[in-house]
Amino acid sequence: MSPDTLDIGNQSSGQQLIGSRYALLERVGRGQIAEVFRGQDTITGETVAIKRARRDEAVELLDIDQQIREEGQVLRELEHPHIVKLLDIVDENQQVDLILEFVQGGSLRDLIANRRLLPLDRVLEISLDIADALTRIHRLNIVHRDLKPGNILMTADGSPKIADIAFTYGYHFDRLRGNSVVFGTPPYLSPESLAGETPSILSNIWSFGVVLYEMLAGRRLFEGETPGQIQAIIQNRSLPDLTQFRSGIPPTLIMLINRMLHKDPEQRLPSMRLVSAEIEAIRFGGRSTLLISQAELTRPPRPVARSELLAGRFAQLDLLAIGRHSEVYYGRDQETGQHVAIKRLKPEITRHDHAIVSRFLREGELLGQLNHPNIVQVLATTASKGEYYIVMKYVPGGSLRNLLDTRPQLPLSQALTIGLELADALARTHHLGIIHRDLKPANVLIAEDGTPRLTDFGLAGLMRSDVRLTKVGSVMGSPAYMSPEACKGEMVDSRSDIWSLGIVLYELIAGFSPFYSYQITALLIGILNSPTPDITRYRSPVPQDLIDLLNRTLSKDPAQRPATMRQVAAELEIIRSKL
């Protein structure tokens, strides 16, 4: 019998069970404050994991049972496919046991050690699942105390599950530190955590950045002989260049990791939801929302030969974002000195997909017609050496998606002001016979003064019946913001934009979109069939006339929605005036 195997005897011989149900078998893990055992549910016969406090001098001064009790209460709220599931809590005989699902496939640490370099798509797949789980954890104001590959378990089919969930903010952290107990594994702790500050969401973003780096590099990022050495390395050394361990990493993925591992927490991405969106964009070729730093914006311009200038005046400088069909650079207008955003159609698209080239040119043409303070201004649409560019005024304040990721529920007056200004912008586009078709927070930029700027008209179409960019039956757009008729692939008109604005406005007020689901099928079923959730369940008070307007904009029947975007804007203005 191994040292970790418990001689529990035979159930028929009167063996004492945990909670009269669970048999304790062998220890499979031992942490700083708790141990994990393999067990068996004697009723169902299923293998389970049993977590309980260690009983030794190292932790005898701490109320670890209370910590485990609270961890169980937290896990009850964390129903997520990528978080280890709580099955039961047994609290008896001055011993608290968490009964958890038993995950058979080892840990992410094992996977990295066995495979060294995981395929890039596999890294992104695992990372997206982990980021979605952490988004759920953070939404409940919970921080993971010890996020690392060893605490990310892998199921037999290769799906990750986060284990060892930590506790809500402020839970006895000062008292625990007072006992000279360091919680967490030093190579994965953020600089501020190592300095003794209370862990935060930003600390989790750092830890996840270390995990993501290690999946890509196939090796540990921070190593040292003692915790003190590791702390000094983390706090003082710059990051090793990822490309020395692996080639072919997308530039936006390197940008993302560098932002996550910034030593200043305020310079990291502000939320795990934004990290998740970036990973999704990289994996599926969507539009990145990463911003260049202020230092990059204010550094002296590098010399650019006149032959390299677009339209004789625009210098294309550093990469800002990569999308499925295009790349966005920030640049400079050499005549005025102002910053610009330069959207460049990828050369491989130019050569092989003439339909997308036509759509790209139409986007420039449409934006050039839309002279409105709440629509991004196009400065030029140009071609050079067989490549196509749209040059736009640079909006440095990030996107509405960024804003919502840092502050999910906006003040009601701010939400109404943004909704009103977007309605005004869309009223202008509809007046010119143009529908946007892809209205969502990521396509709304926020200027430094807080005003929204509508952008990305790549899917826009004309409302005249003789012009169609897509065939009936095709589905284009972002599913969470698409109208029922767009989800069904039907021809759409301005009332589809009204629906999308209703979804955005609901999200500004409630903190999330009304029909959102991790599963695309469930999302589409909700849009097509489910009633709009009562917004007062998530925020109160909300004016009744605003609730009525939201319900009408989100009617499944386009005929029941407000007739025009101007009408929506007028009603929003009246509602705002009553606040």
CATH number at residue 126: 1.10.510.10
Domain span including residue 389: 294-393
Residue with tokens 């967490």: 184
Residues 426 and 518 in one domain: yes
pLDDT of residue 382: 85
Residue 252 resides in a domain: yes
Residue 426 resides in a domain: yes
Residue where a domain stops, chosen among 224, 254, 284 = 284
Residues 467 and 564 in one domain: yes
Residue 4 resides in a domain: no
Task: Return all residues near 330 (Cβ < 8 A) that are at least 6 apart.
Answer: 292, 296, 297, 317, 318, 320, 339, 340, 341, 342, 394
Residues 256 and 374 in one domain: no
Residue 80, classed as helix, strand or coil, is coil
Residue where a domain stops, chosen among 101, 128, 152 = 101
Handedness of CA 269, 274, 276, 277 (dihedral sign): negative
pLDDT of residue 32: 65
The DSSP bridge pattern shows strands 22-30 and 326-333 to be unpaired
pLDDT in tens, 260-317: 999 988 888 888 887 887 888 788 775 555 555 444 455 555 555 555 788 788 888 7
Residue 526 resides in a domain: yes
Residues 542 and 456 in one domain: yes
Residue 528, classed as helix, strand or coil, is helix
Residue 344, classed as helix, strand or coil, is strand
Burial of 424 (0-12, 13-18, 19+ CB in 10 A): buried
Residue 1 resides in a domain: no
Say if CB 435 and CB 496 are below 8 A apart.
yes
Residue 480, classed as helix, strand or coil, is helix
The alpha-helical segments, DSSP class H, found in 399-478 are 400-406, 412-431
Task: Return all residues near 442 (Cβ < 8 A) that are at least 6 apart.
Answer: 277, 287, 289, 399, 400, 401, 456, 478
Say if CB 52 and CB 37 are below 8 A apart.
yes
Residue 5 resides in a domain: no
Burial of 547 (0-12, 13-18, 19+ CB in 10 A): middle
Task: Return all residues near 443 (Cβ < 8 A) that are at least 6 apart.
Answer: 399, 436, 454, 455, 456
pLDDT of residue 298: 52
pLDDT per residue, tens digit, the chain (579 aa), is 333 444 443 443 445 689 889 999 998 887 767 788 999 999 999 999 998 887 665 445 456 677 777 778 778 877 788 999 999 999 888 888 999 999 988 899 999 988 778 999 999 999 999 998 898 888 777 888 889 999 999 999 899 999 887 544 333 333 333 333 446 788 999 998 888 887 888 999 999 999 999 999 999 999 887 777 888 899 888 888 898 898 889 888 998 999 899 998 888 888 888 788 788 878 877 555 555 544 445 555 555 555 578 878 888 877 776 666 777 888 888 888 888 988 888 777 777 777 778 878 877 777 777 778 899 888 888 888 888 888 988 888 778 987 887 777 899 999 999 999 999 999 988 888 888 888 999 889 998 888 999 987 755 555 443 333 333 334 455 788 999 999 888 888 999 999 999 999 999 999 888 987 767 788 889 999 999 999 999 898 999 999 999 999 999 999 999 999 999 999 999 999 998
Residue 38, classed as helix, strand or coil, is strand
Please list the residues that pair with 328 across neighbouring strands: 321, 343
Q: What torsion, rounded to 10 degrees, do the Cα atoms 153, 285, 327, 387 define?
A: 150
Type and span of the H or E element at 319:
strand 314-322
d(CA 222, CA 185): 11
The CA angle 130-131-134, to the nearest 5 degrees, is 90
For residue 210, give Cα distances in angstroms to 71, 188, 260, 316.
24, 6, 8, 32
Residues 229 and 150 in one domain: yes
d(CA 102, CA 23): 14
Residue 90, classed as helix, strand or coil, is strand
Residue 121 resides in a domain: yes
pLDDT of residue 329: 82
Say if CB 326 and CB 379 are below 8 A apart.
no
Type and span of the H or E element at 486:
helix 484-487
The two three-digit tokens of residue 449, written as one number: 């003064």
Residue with tokens 């007020």: 509
pLDDT of residue 11: 42
Radius of gyration of the chain (CA): 27
Task: Return all residues near 577 (Cβ < 8 A) that are at least 6 apart.
Answer: none
Say if CB 124 and CB 283 are below 8 A apart.
yes
Task: Return all residues near 337 (Cβ < 8 A) that are at least 6 apart.
Answer: none
What CATH number is attached to the domain comprising 24?
3.30.200.20
Please list the residues that pair with 27 across neighbouring strands: 37
For residue 40, give Cα distances in angstroms to 6, 76, 94.
13, 21, 21
Residues 376 and 411 in one domain: no
Could you report how far apart the first and last alpha carbons of the chain are, in Å? 72
Say if CB 435 and CB 461 are below 8 A apart.
yes
For residue 193, give Cα distances in angstroms to 187, 198, 239.
11, 6, 18
d(CA 28, CA 44): 21
Residues 407 and 511 in one domain: yes
Residue type at 543? P
Residue 6 resides in a domain: no
Residues 422 and 551 in one domain: yes
Residues 251 and 325 in one domain: no
Total structural domains within the chain: 4
Residue where a domain stops, chosen among 349, 364, 393 = 393
Residues 149 and 238 in one domain: yes
Residue-wise burial string across 79-111, b where 16 or more C-beta atoms lie within 10 A, e elsewhere: ebebbbebbbbbeeeeebbbbbbbbebebbbeb
Say if CB 312 and CB 305 are below 8 A apart.
no
Residues 235 and 116 in one domain: yes
Residue 161, classed as helix, strand or coil, is strand
Residues 157 and 67 in one domain: no
d(CA 230, CA 181): 17
Does pTM top 0.85 for this prediction?
Answer: no
